Amino acid sequence: MTLEPLPAGELAAVVTFLEMTERPAEPVPPSSLRLRRIRPTPDDYRALFRKVGAPWLWYSRLELSDAELESVIGDPGVELFEVAAVEAVAGMLELDFRVTGECEIAFIGLVPSLTGEGHGRWLIAEAVHRAWRNGVTRVHVHTCTLDHPAALPAYRRAGFRPYKRAIERFADPRLTGTLPADAAPQVPLLGTDTSA
């Protein structure tokens, strides 16, 4: 085994890429949650992205300028949904159809208070159902070791097959100011423990 030290202020994650090339036969299970199509401003998108992703250190879209973010979320090939629980926003789904014949489930997630209740199974099934449309021959997604531990098994249960792994290294977004220092407490901020 080889251990490679990370420079101070960096994090690393193992990313698993998954795909499906046939539409699954299973129906979408029932849920009290609903998906609502949205067309957010960059600031509204960032607020939703933080709400869902900060516990898992999602940072990539937060570092884009308004113009860069608008070029993604305003593209007609990108569909955005918020997950609604009664009146509260409880999650997000982003489907990317910009590559002909493919759909990438770019971002998908629920707020932490809804995990472990079967809502994730519903949300993944909804994403897959919406991804498979005329002309789509491949649906893909990726997850990493910083995501919820149930994410990878949930994608596999939904019919995705892993096909590639990579290691992602990046500056800790809590140290760059992209996310607050208390985001993702399960991932320690090295050198900042004041509990002694």
**Helix and strand element counts for the chain (H, E):** 4, 7
As a whole number, the mean pLDDT across the chain is 94
Structure tokens at 14: 């193992």
Q: What is the DSSP string of 171-186?
A: E-TTTTTSS-TTS-TT
* Predicted confidence (pLDDT) at residue 173 exceeds the cutoff of 60: yes
Task: Give the pLDDT confidence score for residue 145 in this predicted structure.
Answer: 96
Instruction: Spell out the CATH class of 12-171.
Output: alpha beta
Given this model, what pLDDT does residue 85 score? 85
- Tokens representing 132 are 């498979």
Query: Looking at residue 196, what is its pLDDT?
Result: 45
Instruction: For 18-31, write each residue's pLDDT tens digit.
Output: 999 999 998 999 99
**Residues 6+ positions from 92 with CB-CB distance below 8 Å:** 48, 49, 52, 80, 81, 82, 83, 107, 108, 109
Cβ-count burial 86-101 (b if 16+ within 10 Å, e if not): eeebbbbbbbbbeeee
> Residue 190: its pLDDT value, please?
84
Cross-strand bridge partners of residue 38: 80
pLDDT of 102 strictly over 70? yes
Average pLDDT of span 7-22 = 96
**pLDDT tens digit string along 129-149?**
999 999 999 999 999 999 999
pTM: 0.93
* Residue 79 burial (CB count, 10 A): 19
Task: Give the separation between CA 60 and CA 57, rounded to whole angstroms.
Answer: 9
Predicted pLDDT of residue 194: 46
**Model pLDDT, residue 193:** 54
Confidence of residue 191 (pLDDT cuts 50, 70, 90): low
